[in-house]
Amino acid sequence: MFGLIRKKPFRFRPNPPQALALGFTVMIAAGSFLLSLPIASANRSTIPFLDALFMATSATCVTGLSFYNIGEHFSLFGQLVLLLLVQIGGLGFMTIATLAALVFRRRITFRERLILQEAMNQSSTEGIVRLIRKVLLYALIIEAVGAAVFAVRLMFEMPPGQAVYFGVFHSISTFNNAGFDLFGVFPERSGSLIHYVEDPIINFMTIVLIIFGGIGFIVISDLLSYPKTKKLTLHSKVVLTVSAALIVVGTLVIFLFELTNPLTLEPLSPIGKVFGAMFQSVTARSTGLTTLDIESLRQATQFFILLLMFIGAAPGSSGGGIKVTTFAILIGAMIAMIRGKEDIVMFRYRIAKDRIYKAITFTLLSFFLIVIAAMVLSTTEDFPFLGILFEVTSAYGTTGMSMGLTSQLTEFGKVVIILLMFIGRLGPVTLAFTLTSKPEKELFRYPEGKITIG
């Protein structure tokens, strides 16, 4: 009798957060293998697997930190691998998988819709496939426009074929907030976009791509629907308002701090000073491309940029950080407390309590991760503490800015930064859900107690 009882075969059915984490892990592993091949290097030599893992994680998590000169060290194959990882990592592997399913006319299951809901930070699965179609269309159009503008501008200084390739690479890298660049192939130039600090076309197009990539597809879709609907969702209003405020405040602060710095803004023309300050303000929250030497900035400016990296971009975008909506809720909570109000109200809407708890949890988890990582690296890396804290925040915020520590990281330091980039792309709350079982419903509540605050 007992012999007839069959045990059910074990089947691993990951929940949406686990599926996201697993998907990113598989992409990073595949990218690491490809980048470690001799064909990926310009001189046909293999790079250490840990270095390949670092670069694959940086690309997939659209961070942009690199201790290699992308344009000089990697072959065309290696650059295309990085670009593919950036595109998939920026749009999300589930978005790409949905595209494949739509092409082959395969039905999107409810479970897959749940994963898409988690990936796009949506509150429900309603209209999620329609949103994915829009995401792919918007991304293709925006990247194509960016590539065309970059290509036309760069044709004035390089062959047309190279200009087109550079245009496509930098448009995809910028829009997906990765921050990789190929200009290191020119040894006479400084890193990143420093050579173009006063170039209006490069500055304007890059800033536009960063902003569109940082506000998220939900807001882009909302903006395009505005002529018909004549209204914006609360999410879009908060994202656009806070993003604009951070750009303006960031530009003013950087401009004032660096105006008399002979190594950054002082030698530039008036319009160059404005471009320089604005570019750093915009790029600090998501991308990491720079037109000023970060190491030459004053410490006050470096610390202010660190704060912008911690805040990050919008939910549903490829940017990292605690997100502008989280920051808005925290500021709203502070204002409500000071005014003696019980509710946080934004644009005549009351913010739900669970959103407030999530914002506080996300911020504290992010803060603790950054502080612990910085303390650990300060014992293993021979580098000033501000530079270590800057690097850690940049990795967690998937920004990609660096004060020079990346190229000097020890093996242990590389592992720490890899983990931070991975956690920063997924989000600590999502990662926590992947490691915990389904919470059980509480059957009772404890009596309310009061403690003294302040």
Burial class (CB in 10 A: 0-12, 13-18, 19+), 448: exposed
Least confident of 68-72, 186-190, 343-347: 186-190
- How many domains would you assign to the chain? 1
> pLDDT tier at 152 (50, 70, 90 boundaries)?
very high
Q: What is the mean pLDDT of the chain?
A: 84
Q: What local confidence, expressed as pLDDT, does residue 104 receive?
A: 47
Instruction: Encode pLDDT of 59-77 as tens digits.
Output: 998 888 988 889 888 999 9
- Asked if the structure places residue 454 within a domain, the reply is no
> pLDDT tier at 227 (50, 70, 90 boundaries)?
confident
- Asked if the structure places residue 140 within a domain, the reply is yes
Instruction: Encode pLDDT of 101-111 as tens digits.
Output: 544 455 555 55
- Asked if the structure places residue 137 within a domain, the reply is yes
| Phi, psi for residue 75 in degrees, rounded to 5 | -75, 180
Helices 234-258 and 217-229 pack at an angle, to 10 degrees, of 120
- Asked if the structure places residue 438 within a domain, the reply is no
Query: How far is the C-alpha of 328 from the C-alpha of 88, rounded, in Å?
Result: 29
Domain encompassing residue 162: 13-431
Percent of the chain exceeding pLDDT 90 equals 50
Nearest to 359 by CA among 316, 394, 324: 324
- Asked if the structure places residue 3 within a domain, the reply is no
- Asked if the structure places residue 317 within a domain, the reply is yes
Q: Above 60 in pLDDT, residue 453?
A: yes
pTM of the model: 0.87
- Asked if the structure places residue 2 within a domain, the reply is no
- Asked if the structure places residue 31 within a domain, the reply is yes
Q: What is the DSSP letter of 443?
A: S
Query: How far is the C-alpha of 152 from the C-alpha of 78, rounded, in Å?
Result: 25
Least confident of 4-13, 194-203, 297-306: 4-13
Instruction: Encode pLDDT of 253-266 as tens digits.
Output: 999 999 999 999 99
What pairs with residue 346 in β-bridges? 349
